[in-house]
Structure 1
Amino acid sequence: MQPQILPIPFHFDSNKVGEVWRVPYQKCAADAELWAKEHNIQPAYLDQKRICLLLIDVQNTFCIPEFELFVGGQTGTGAVDDNKRLCEFIYRHLGLITRIIPTLDTHTAMQIFHPIFWINAAGEHPTPAATSITSADIEQGIWTVNPAVANSVANGDYELLKQQANHYVKKLSQDGKYPLTVWPYHSMLGGIGHALVSAVEEAIFFHNIARQSQTQFEMKGENPLTENYSILRPEVLLGFDGQPIANKNTSLIKQLLEFDAVIIAGQAKSHCVAWTIDDLLTEIQQVDVTLTKKIYLLEDCTSPVVVPGVVDYTEQANATFKRFAEMGMHIIKSTDSLFC
């Protein structure tokens, strides 16, 4: 079936994608309803093929220059350019996308990957983004859990907190995951960095009203004792005592597998996007490996983490996406014809 490609609404200004501003909801809603009438856009519940657009962490903290963890990619403007294309993709395919599911990386200060959680012998916190903590670092006393956070995180049980943290760092190594990275405070709950990029929020809200399809927000990363790159599961599920410290997002996994197609974009290609897709692949392999054919990756709407002169995850991200393609997933661009 030839998909209906729509024009870009007049209100969209690509020059504002890298800025933060307030979405005028009431006007946007009125415009969306009028747009739906003009272009004969039907309510989403009438879709014969149900298509999901899964947007990973399209938030200010990752996507706006000068914010905490801006994903610049190799061009230096990666996330901004990605989101221009993403907004245009949403508007053009407004009549085809059944549901949009944005994930929201969500943090508070006292979490295992933030500076306040750790101290050295001098009582200093690790330098964010430049510090990874290994089991050897803990054994040698280079870094230890800050006793002051135990009251907020472990009901004052410092020994328990140390055991959990030590187990966590070892488990990351055993499972072949990235070592524990101390990140700058980011995606702070209640803060402006936690919010969706304004232009993307506007496009999502426009879709919400035009298709009469409730946007489904999915939170991740609130657990203080584990990182949560993927929306589908945290990095570590069990504590040192074998008891759960976090859970898989089983309801979302089930929901995604029931769509006729799932299109994935967001930030960053090397981290939260890659982890989410990898976890989805694991779940698919346990059910029916042919389901990979209904996964579409918008490669020009995602960028890898690149810190010039420090680290460049471009090659790793590209290799990971190549593996996904070899497993049957589709690597597409936002300008490709959508035959989901």
Structure 2
Amino acid sequence: MIRKLGLLILVLAIAGGVGFWFLSAPSYVDPARIAATAPGDAQRGTAIFWQGGCASCHAAPGAKGDARLVLTGGLNLITPFGTFVAPNISPSQQGIGEWSFEDLANAMMEGVSPAGSHYYPAFPYTSYARMQLQDIADLHAFLKTLPPSDNVAGPHKLGFPFNVRRGLGLWKRLYLSPDPVLTIADASDAAKRGQYLVEGPGHCGECHTPRNPIGGMEKAQWLAGATAAEGKGVVPNITGGEGGIADWSANDIAYALESGFTPEFDSLGSSMADVVLNTAHLQGTDREAIAAYLKAVPPHPNGYPTAK
């Protein structure tokens, strides 16, 4: 009897392991879609670079001006799950110099490295999954024009079980989707464009939306603000709900994204100041589109605990 029980446990363990391996396997962008995408245009890719905020994480910490185009990596993102280190994504051997467009597309839309391992969602592929492949092709072309850096950014600093990358395959089944977050009835063309920018390359929800204990975004509180990933302070509510930006006009929002000033002429601080270094490069119509979308987002009360 004991022998049979032991055999049953062994069989169940093997079956569970096989099931885990199958369910956690990486997914890839359909190669037919890759093949059907036109060659990237570096000039168009410049705009995608600023829309995606690549420099905010991948430039050297504190970099200013043209130094923000040297994507040397090294920024430490300290979170409850451990410390994530932003990699070098410059066109060098230490970066992504040998990456193809397909490699970049799989990284950004499926969170998978060229070697087939899962990326941690500190890299906001859960938002980039909504991007158009042509935009990624254009971004790839632009990244290839940037200065190379041989900096070695170093590994993440994670403990068990978060250092088991394979388990991210199961997490992705819950939280990785190319579907839009919101359905907005009778949305204007500007709001539709803004939705693409905010929910896709701009990845605003990654910081402005609260998360559950395993790091999934609480989309029912989309853009309601959140406790900062670093555990100190909050990221503000950018909906029209209580505590949010109901009093801001669309022009106020667009101006803040260009200048870094609120309607009260306070400066946007913390990480948002760095975001403005990106959004200031956008076309005015794109900043206006972001504003139109944010004004159309359903209002929510603050998504973080109120200080006592």
Same fold (TM over 0.5): no
Higher strand share: 1
Q: Give the TM-score category using the shorter length.
A: under 0.3
TM-score (norm 2): 0.24
Higher helix share: 2
TM-score (norm 1): 0.22
Q: Which has the higher contact order (CA 8 A, sep 6+)?
A: 1
